Amino acid sequence: MPPLAERLRPQTLDTYIGQQHLVGDNAILRKMIESGHIASFILWGPPGVGKTTLARIIANKLDRPFYTLSAVSSGVKDVRDVIEKAKANRFFSQANPILFIDEIHRFSKSQQDSLLGAVENGTVTLIGATTENPSFEVITPLLSRCQVYVLKPLNKEDLMELAERAIHTDIELKNRKIIFEETESMLRFSGGDARKLLNIIELVVNSDQSEEVVFTNKVVTERLQQNPSAYDKDGEMHYDIISAFIKSIRGSDPDAAIYWLARMVAGGEDPKFIARRLVISASEDIGLANPNALLLANACFDALHKIGWPEGRIILAEATVYLAASPKSNSAYLAIDDALALVERTGNLPVPLHLRNAPTRLMKELNYGKDYKYSHDFQNHFVEQQFMPDDLTKERIWKVQNNPAESKLGEWLRLLWKGRY
């Protein structure tokens, strides 16, 4: 039997829960659907808020051929095959088919390019679904041909309506006596995600063979701790695994880092989320001990965007091993936090006159920029002068850490500043 989330998937707008700003009375998508004419659009929102369901409802309502692709497993050839099928189908039908692409943000540029012609000439009406900001993840030519509609996480009232519907209408659950005595944990772990809520309900009910199933905060928490996969990938386990991943890199353990990477890849984690964390780790944990780490992490992010999936896993693996094996330093991370604390403590101190910009005659008359020494005019491209505000000349912020790269920087600075560093 299909999972509860699939059994309860709405078939009409009237049974669709949430997103009233889009499908409620007189809302834009409802009016578009009722008119029978829809343009290509992208649904942007977190997991489990009804993007796929809404696309299927639209296809059913308009009685159009419905093709679906997952950006996780589809390549350019799959896109072209579907477009050819749509062209053949269009020959027999006046209404152009709907092509639904789940997780469209995972499509590479070449994959997105392959859609342009079919969308522009009306071979297909594209409905894309994404959890990422389309402005960053969808190419501009394709984005310009689509409207973007934002879906919101389900609120507590929406989730409880869904929960009540589940226990009273589902073919399996309606035969059990189910009581929602406490709902805080159930709603909190759901996080506005309908699929996650239904997974939790199904898990708790299936693990209790008694005649009466009572939902309490304690029961829900215990069941989820025993079966963490029921509420991932965006629940607590999601954050635990990314935490273990980053800490393994910080701890210079490539074996552990690549293991946690594999856990995320196998669990369907968004590759760009992992790549972003690698860029952060390169700055936060490796920093000036190996500045090339940031370059490689950023190259990983760019390459992932161009190559897509599944080959992108190799790029992530290379960056992960390199970062984990690199020497570590958090001096830049500590420096910016110390500097922010200093700014908060001392306020907006004036910029010394010789450092100020002087684009006008009045500013020059007020001695803006006067006596500033141009570093490149001096030996070693350096001349000692004051760069901090007057009240902070004795403050030290960046502190050299004990690694070869920073030691070399420290030696150079001590040579220039006569022992300041």
Q: Which two tokens stand for residue 248?
A: 């393994």
pLDDT in tens, 133-174: 888 778 888 888 899 999 998 999 999 999 999 999 999 899
CATH of the domain at 362: 1.10.3710
Q: What is the CATH number of the domain that holds 264?
A: 1.20.272.10
In a domain, 336, yes or no: no
Q: Do residues 60 and 160 both lie within one domain?
A: no
Question: pLDDT averaged over the chain?
Answer: 85
Q: Is residue 3 part of a domain?
A: no
User: Given 230, 265, 281, which residue is the final one in a domain?
Assistant: 230
118 domain residue, yes or no:
yes
Number of H helices, E strands in the chain: 20, 7
* 124 shares its domain with 191: no
Q: Is residue 403 part of a domain?
A: yes
Top pLDDT among 74 and 228 is at 74
Q: Are residues 177 and 260 in the same domain?
A: no
Q: Give the torsion through C-alpha atoms of 26, 156, 9, 60, to 10 deg.
A: 10
The pTM assigned to this predicted structure is: 0.56
| One domain for residues 33 and 124 | yes
- pLDDT, position 102: 86
Do 242 and 211 form a contact (C-beta atoms < 8 A)? no
Say which CATH number the domain at 146 has: 3.40.50.300
Residue type, 7: R
Q: What is the pLDDT of residue 281?
A: 93
- Give the mean pLDDT of 292-318: 89
Interstrand relation of 66-70 and 147-150 (parallel, antiparallel or unpaired): unpaired
Identify the pLDDT of residue 177. Answer: 92
Q: Which residues contact residue 101 at a Cβ distance below 8 angstroms, ignoring those fewer than 6 apart?
A: 68, 69, 70, 71, 74, 107, 115, 126, 127, 128, 129
Q: What is the CATH number of the domain that holds 164?
A: 1.10.8.60
Mean pLDDT of all residues in 319-333: 90
Residue 223 sits in the same domain as residue 297: no
Indicate the helix (H) or strand (E) that contains 194: helix 194-206
Domain-located, residue 335: no
Task: Tell me which of 230, 258, 275 is where a domain ends.
Answer: 230
Quote the number of domains for the chain. 4
**Structural domain contains residue 269:** yes
Average pLDDT over residues 267-283: 87
What pLDDT is stored for residue 231 in this prediction?
46
| Helix, strand, coil percentages in the chain from 3-state DSSP, rounded to 5 | 60, 10, 35
Same domain as 25, residue 138? yes
Tell me what the mean pLDDT of segment 232-254 comes to: 75
Q: Does residue 17 register a pLDDT over 70?
A: yes
Predicted local confidence at residue 227, as pLDDT: 63
* Residue range(s) defining the domain that contains residue 146: 19-150
pLDDT single digits (tens) 336-381: 888 988 888 888 888 888 888 877 777 777 778 888 888 888 888 8
- The per-residue pLDDT for range 57-100, each reduced to its tens digit, is 988 888 788 888 877 777 778 888 888 887 776 655 567 888 89
Can you give the pLDDT at residue 181? 92
Asked if residue 169 and residue 127 are part of one domain, the reply reads no
61 shares a domain with 140 = yes
Output the pLDDT for position 236.
46
Residue 7: inside a domain:
no
Q: pLDDT > 90: what percent of the chain? A: 25
**Residue 388 DSSP class:** S
224 and 247 together in one domain: no
User: Does 331 fall in a domain?
Assistant: no
pLDDT at 237: 57
The β-bridge partners of 215 are: 180
| pLDDT of 233 higher than 60 | no
Cα dihedral sign, 267-273-276-280: negative
* pLDDT tens digits along 18-62: 999 999 888 999 998 888 888 899 999 888 899 989 988 988 888
Question: Do 72 and 135 have their domain in common?
Answer: yes
> 195, 230, 265: which is the final residue of a domain?
230
Residues 301 and 384 in one domain: no
134 and 31 in one domain? yes
- Residue 235: pLDDT band with limits 50, 70, 90: very low
- Please tell me the predicted confidence (pLDDT) of residue 273: 85
* Residues whose CB falls within 8 Å of the CB of residue 179, separated by 6 or more in sequence, listed in order: 212, 213, 214, 215
